[in-house]
Amino acid sequence: MCCDVSEGTHKKLIINAGMDLLILAKVVLRKLWIILSVPLIAAFAAFLFTMDMEEVYLSTAQISTGYTTNDQAILTEEKFNSRDADIKFSNLLNAMNSGLAFNLLSYRLLLHDLEGDERPFRRPDPDKFSATAEEIGRVKEAVRRKLENFSPLSTTDEDYPLVRKFLDAYGYGYTNLTKNMLVDRVPNTDYVQVDFRSEDPRLSAFGANSFSQEFIRYHASFRTERSGESVEFLKQLVENKKAELDAKLEAQKSFASANQMYDPNESGIRMSQIASLEMERDIIRSRLYRLRLSIDRMKEDIDRLSAPVATGHNQKILDLRERISRLNERFITTGSSDNRLLDSLNILREQLRIQQDFATRQGPSMPEGYTVADLQVKLKDAQIEYEVENSALAVAEQKIANLRGTFSNSASKEARLASLQKEVDLASTEYLDAVEKYNLAKSRMLASGTLRQVLSAIPPVYPEMSTRWLIVGGAGFASFCICLFVVVALELLDVSIRTPDRFKRMVGLPLVGVINEIDSRNFNIRTYFSQQNGMEDTEMFKSLLRKFRHEIQTMPGKVFLFTSPKRRDGKTFIMFSLAYVLSLIDKRVLIIDTNFKNNSLSQLLGRNHGDLKVLDSRKRKLLVSANGESRKEQPEYEHENSYDLINPTKYKNIYIVGNSGGGSESPAEILSGRDFTNLVSLLADSFDYVLMEGAALNDYSDTKELVRYADKVVAVFSADTSLKQLDREAIQYFKSLGKKFGGCVLNRVDTKDLKL
């Protein structure tokens, strides 16, 4: 259920928004003559004001910056950075639009017209300007000097007043040039475009070219002065670092030559030689050990063959163990670093193992068939081979000792040479860094935007399309937009009721009638209804009034109370008009003017009555009390018969019960003592409709006191008013009446708004 309500509310809001847009569009169309007439007037005025505009010639020059592309040979490969390029372009354009750049152009233009070599572009008005030959010479000299030195025009200069006088006379001042020149980057390119406008095509071309040339000259001078210092400094730094590197290399070369250290890897070679010899020594020791074991075994075999009774080996084993123990203590006390002791220990341990194995064996180890003589021959061969290997071992150890002595002697020299090499490496690194910075500075100097004029300005053949029509069109378009904005803004800011649709949304009460606004200054309702094919407003008024009459006829009841939240909302007009259209269908209508604060109805309909009978007419008798004091008695009404209050009018079937007006009392106070309910009931029996009027609800309580006498209450709202807080309280009161409330009449609706 909640979803259905929300969806319905959403659709209603969409419909209301669409209606508002439609109404707004129709309002704009209705006021289209204003929206179009004002721009036409503005365009015509702009056309008249621009009739004396001169033809303007535009000439263009282009300058290549080199910020995005560079066709010069550079030593570094820098990647393109769009952000840096944008910053460079911003700096360049700021410099090109500076006062100094325009001063340089002013100097060139003034010198051109003063030199006399070519036809001058401009001639000052002789009636306003005159100069002597001496003044012209002074100006030429001063301007030429400033042009060569890139000096701006300053108020502190001695010749400033005179130069300024000439610039103003020829129209070459800063203000004049900035109006006619535009300097900007061509989008997404490497070029800066210089546009110059003037009344002379030659002047336009000369101005654009002169500005480009002078700024390029100034930029080159400024760049050379600024970057030349850093390049010279880096160049000197490179030379100093080169001298330091040469000195380090010469010192290294001299030290190596004096110490015969030609090979920088000599230490490594000697170390490898020592390692190779030590490996060879270990192999020889292994062979010696093997030969010694073989000799001992052959001796034992000879002894066994010579003496069948083998000698005991226990004593040898004990001797070997004792020797191994002594050598082991010596090896440990020397720090376990003596390789010779380690080799001897290994040999003794191997002998001990052999003796122990030999002790466990039984019988000779030689194969059968061997004699003592054969073993002795083999023993001698083994002894000879042992001596040879022992001699080779001595030679290897001698070589190792010599190499180690040579290595320890050259260690300090190589350390010194390594120190010199580090100094050379450091000096070489510093030199290379300096060279890199120097090359980078030169490269940036070349690539920092070498400005070149790639497009020279030429005198244009035809003048630029006149801005006159742009001004005229702009004036028309601007005024059109302003008018449209004002119309729409006024429409959106208008919070008045205006139309029936807005009334339904803003008030929320049912409408039983809508009356359009008519000219009421010479209002004659008989004329309105008697004429045929009248004005549009008249015909619509009659039609809407008849619709309202129909709604009243369909309502139950005969007594209607008309009221309104505010004064001057048109209650009197609505009641009178309704009474008239009811009389046209032979309905007898009685109007009871119960608006005691403003008796407009009594004045309107009782104008021709000499003695109008009024509802609030009464007299009081003066009574005397018993003690002699006077007091007023209760009032006696002048008209005992209710029908005596009825006054006929000049309109057929329309009667009125008037009041004297201007009273400060409320209806309850005025009608007290009279049975007004019975009076109204008796009068309603004799008439088809009884219409009563109540005072404005926001100001008085009259309406609330009269409601109980009426069958239906009809509220009148004016379309040209907006709702305030008191109006909303009145609306809530109308809603509280329930079925007794007959509806609302929206008065004074613009006929054009009814067509929206």
The DSSP bridge partners found for residue 513 are: 745
* Separation of alpha carbons 263 and 65, rounded Å: 56
CATH classification of 494-754 is 3.40.50.300, yes or no? yes
- Residue-wise pLDDT for 540-597, tens only, equals 999 999 999 999 999 999 999 999 999 999 999 999 999 999 999 999 999 999 998 8
Here the tokens at position 410 are 């050259």
- The pLDDT value recorded for residue 619 is 40
Here the tokens at position 378 are 């083999």
List for the chain the helix, strand, coil content (%; round to 5). 60, 10, 30
* Separation of alpha carbons 429 and 420, rounded Å: 14
Q: Any idea which of 100-104, 217-221, 349-353 has the lowest mean pLDDT?
A: 349-353
- Residue-wise pLDDT for 347-404, tens only, equals 888 887 777 666 655 444 555 555 677 777 788 888 888 888 888 888 888 887 777 6
199: helix, coil or strand? Answer: coil
Within 10 angstroms of residue 444's Cβ, the number of other Cβ atoms is: 17
CATH number of 266-446: 1.10.287
Contacts of 380 (CB under 8 A, 6+ apart): none
Q: List C-alpha distances in Å: 580 to 38, 531, 590, 680, 697.
A: 45, 16, 11, 21, 25
- The pLDDT value recorded for residue 635 is 47
Q: Are 483 and 35 in contact (CB under 8 A)?
A: yes
pLDDT at 640 over 50: no
- The pLDDT value recorded for residue 654 is 94
- The pLDDT value recorded for residue 352 is 78
- Residue-wise pLDDT for 423-451, tens only, equals 888 888 888 887 877 777 666 655 555 78
- Residue-wise pLDDT for 437-487, tens only, equals 777 766 665 555 578 888 999 999 888 766 777 888 888 889 889 988 888
- The pLDDT value recorded for residue 313 is 56
pLDDT at 118 over 60: yes
pLDDT at 231 over 70: no
pLDDT at 3 over 80: no
Q: Any idea which of 201-210, 312-321, 717-726 has the lowest mean pLDDT?
A: 312-321
pLDDT band at residue 73 under the 50/70/90 scheme: very low
- Residue-wise pLDDT for 667-700, tens only, equals 888 887 778 888 888 888 999 999 999 999 999 9
How crowded is the C-beta side of 291, counted as CA atoms within 13 Å? 19
Q: Average of pLDDT values for 9-30?
A: 67
Compute the chain's Rg from CA coordinates. 64
Residue 191 parent element (H or E): strand 191-198
**Sign of the CA dihedral 439, 442, 443, 444?**
positive
- Comparing 68 with 305, which gets the higher pLDDT? 68
Q: Are 683 and 590 in contact (CB under 8 A)?
A: yes
Running DSSP on this structure, what letter comes out for residue 533? S
The DSSP bridge partners found for residue 713 are: 561, 741
- What mean pLDDT value characterizes the chain? 80
Alpha-helical regions (H) of 307-371: 314-333, 339-360
Collect contacts of 245-251 with beta carbons under 8 A, ≥24 apart: 245/424, 245/427, 245/428, 245/430, 245/431, 248/420, 248/423, 248/424, 248/427, 249/424, 251/420, 251/423
* Separation of alpha carbons 587 and 591, rounded Å: 13
The residue among 643, 552, 561 whose CA lies nearest residue 595 is: 561
Here the tokens at position 242 are 């080169």
Contacts of 34 (CB under 8 A, 6+ apart): 483, 487
State how far Cα 7 lies from the chain centre. 37
Pairing of strands 618-619, 589-592: unpaired
Residue 475 parent element (H or E): helix 468-493
Range ranked top by mean pLDDT from 131-140, 315-324, 398-407, 462-471? 131-140
Share of the chain above pLDDT 70, in %: 80
* Separation of alpha carbons 519 and 517, rounded Å: 7
pLDDT band at residue 608 under the 50/70/90 scheme: low
Contacts of 202 (CB under 8 A, 6+ apart): 121, 459
- The pLDDT value recorded for residue 719 is 92
Q: List C-alpha distances in Å: 228 to 76, 96, 234, 247, 441.
A: 19, 22, 10, 29, 9
Residue 9 parent element (H or E): helix 2-30
Q: List C-alpha distances in Å: 106 to 163, 184, 488.
A: 10, 19, 50
Instruction: Count Cβ atoms within 10 A of the Cβ of residue 203 and give its class: 0-12 exposed, 13-18 middle, 19 or more buried.
Output: buried
pLDDT at 71 over 50: yes
- Residue-wise pLDDT for 155-176, tens only, equals 888 889 999 999 999 999 998 8
The residue among 178, 131, 121, 180 whose CA lies nearest residue 159 is: 131
- Comparing 656 with 342, which gets the higher pLDDT? 656
pLDDT at 620 over 50: no
pLDDT band at residue 75 under the 50/70/90 scheme: very low
* Separation of alpha carbons 440 and 119, rounded Å: 49
Alpha-helical regions (H) of 31-154: 32-49, 82-96, 99-115, 133-149
Pairing of strands 589-592, 559-563: unpaired
Contacts of 165 (CB under 8 A, 6+ apart): 129, 131
The residue among 599, 625, 595, 622 whose CA lies nearest residue 612 is: 599
- The pLDDT value recorded for residue 409 is 53
- Residue-wise pLDDT for 177-188, tens only, equals 999 899 999 988
Q: State the residue for tokens 């239906």.
A: 712
State how far Cα 274 lies from the chain centre. 77
pLDDT at 74 over 50: no
- The pLDDT value recorded for residue 261 is 55
pLDDT at 514 over 90: yes
* Separation of alpha carbons 37 and 50, rounded Å: 20
- The pLDDT value recorded for residue 212 is 92
